[in-house]
């Protein structure tokens, strides 16, 4: 366990990207890692642009252009202040990018920009104003970020279950991963899966342990220093709790 933990947390994607931005860094690997992180965290970017008041079509264009800019240029060199965390880097870069958003929009109207992202309408739905309308765009960004981190960790957990031929176990137990232990009826779950209660307890414990590791590794991918994982999780939790205020 320790070996795996050390391996993943020592070579996080973000630390690789930061290293790659140096003149003698591994450019190709850094570029691939950056593309992969952008692939995972595109929703917060799109939500932020929408929350700034752009119409869906314009927000799509701007999101596309933003990622093109990030991936084409060595944008990282301009983002020294926020290099510690990918989330901060992306938000700061996005804010800078949107300062010139009007010009970019007009360029689109003239057909003067090469676009690269193929959007399907369902992927580009703006956040519903009814629920997030009172939050500033930066908070919407963080909130989407938190959701993406959790979604991705759950997705990896499900994939591991499925790869081991136990997807059904994940489907039944996924609602019981969190610490609300008192609410878990092991008897019902045992009945549902047709196994003994003791088996359910053991499997749920196993699933929780693996989920924790996956979540931490997910967060670790986005920070330069592995020691920042806890701080990043706490920051995201604070964002979520404030939504309820």
Partner 1 sequence: MNTVRGDLPVQTGAEPANCEGCGAAVRLDGSGCVNCLLLEGLQTEGQSSSEAFRSVLSEIALPDREWRLGSYEVMEEIGRGGMGVIYRARQRHSRRVVALKRMLSYDAQSRETLARFRREAETAASLDHPNILPIYEVSESSEGVPFFSMKLATGGSLRAATPSLTGKSKECVRLIAKVARALDYAHQRGILHRDLQPGNILLDARGEPMISDFGLAKWLDENSDLTRTLTAFGTPGYIAPEQAEGAAAELTPAADIYSLGAILFNLLAGRPPFVGANALSVIRQAGVTDAPRLRSLAPSLDRDLETILAHCLERDPKRRYESAGDVAEDLDRWLDGRPILARRVLLPMRLWRWSRRNPILAATASGCLLLAAAVAWLLGGTVLNSKPRRNSSEGCCWPFSSVRTCVSIS
To partner 1, the closest distance from the beta carbon of 174 in angstroms equals: 5
Of the residues 80, 102, 103, 180, which one makes contact with partner 1 according to CB under 8 A: 180
Q: Give the C-alpha separation, 59 to 42, whole Å.
A: 12
Site for partner 1 in 19-58 (CB under 8 A): 32, 35-36, 38-39, 42-43, 57
What is the DSSP secondary-structure string of 175-232?
A: GG-SS-GGG--HHHHHHHHTS-HHHHHHHHHHHHHHHHHHHHHHHHTTBSSGGGHHHH
164 binds partner 1 (CB under 8 A): yes
Residues 6+ apart with CB under 8 A from 190: 196, 197, 199, 200
Of the residues 132, 137, 189, 223, which one makes contact with partner 1 according to CB under 8 A: 132
**Which is closer to partner 1, CB of 99 or CB of 211?**
211
Q: Extract the tokens encoding 161.
A: 């279950």
To partner 1, the closest distance from the beta carbon of 123 in angstroms equals: 6
Which sign does the torsion angle of CA 231, 37, 60, 123 carry? negative
Of the residues 76, 91, 101, 146, which one makes contact with partner 1 according to CB under 8 A: 146
7 binds partner 1 (CB under 8 A): no
**Which is closer to partner 1, CB of 4 or CB of 188?**
4
Residues 6+ apart with CB under 8 A from 239: 139, 142, 143, 145, 146
To partner 1, the closest distance from the beta carbon of 99 in angstroms equals: 23
Q: Count of CB atoms within 10 A of residue 105's CB?
A: 17
To partner 1, the closest distance from the beta carbon of 18 in angstroms equals: 19
To partner 1, the closest distance from the beta carbon of 86 in angstroms equals: 15
Of the residues 27, 100, 109, 212, which one makes contact with partner 1 according to CB under 8 A: 212
């Amino acid at each position: 366990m320790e070996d795996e933990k050390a391996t993943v947390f020592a070579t996080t994607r973000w630390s690789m990207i930061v290293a790659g931005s140096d003149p003698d860094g591994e450019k190709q690997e850094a570029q691939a890692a950056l593309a992969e992180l952008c692939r995972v965290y595109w929703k917060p970017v799109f939500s932020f642009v929408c929350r700034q008041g752009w119409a869906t079509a314009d927000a799509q264009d701007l999101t596309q252009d933003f990622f093109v800019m990030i991936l084409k240029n060595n944008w990282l060199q301009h983002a020294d202040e926020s290099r510690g965390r990918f989330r901060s880097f992306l938000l700061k870069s996005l804010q800078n990018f949107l300062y010139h958003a009007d010009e970019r929009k007009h360029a689109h109207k003239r057909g003067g920009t090469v676009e690269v992202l193929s959007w399907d309408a369902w992927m580009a739905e703006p956040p519903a104003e009814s629920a997030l309308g009172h939050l500033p765009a930066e908070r919407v960004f963080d909130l989407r970020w938190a959701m993406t981190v959790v979604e991705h960790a759950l997705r990896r957990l499900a994939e591991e279950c499925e790869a081991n031929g136990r997807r059904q176990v994940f489907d039944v137990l996924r609602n019981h991963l969190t610490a609300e232990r008192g609410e878990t009826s092991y008897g019902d779950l045992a009945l549902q899966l047709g196994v003994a209660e003791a088996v359910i307890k053991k499997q749920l414990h196993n699933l929780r342990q693996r989920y924790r590791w996956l979540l931490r590794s997910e967060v670790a991918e986005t920070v330069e220093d592995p020691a920042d994982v806890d701080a990043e999780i706490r920051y995201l939790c604070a964002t979520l709790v404030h939504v309820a205020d």
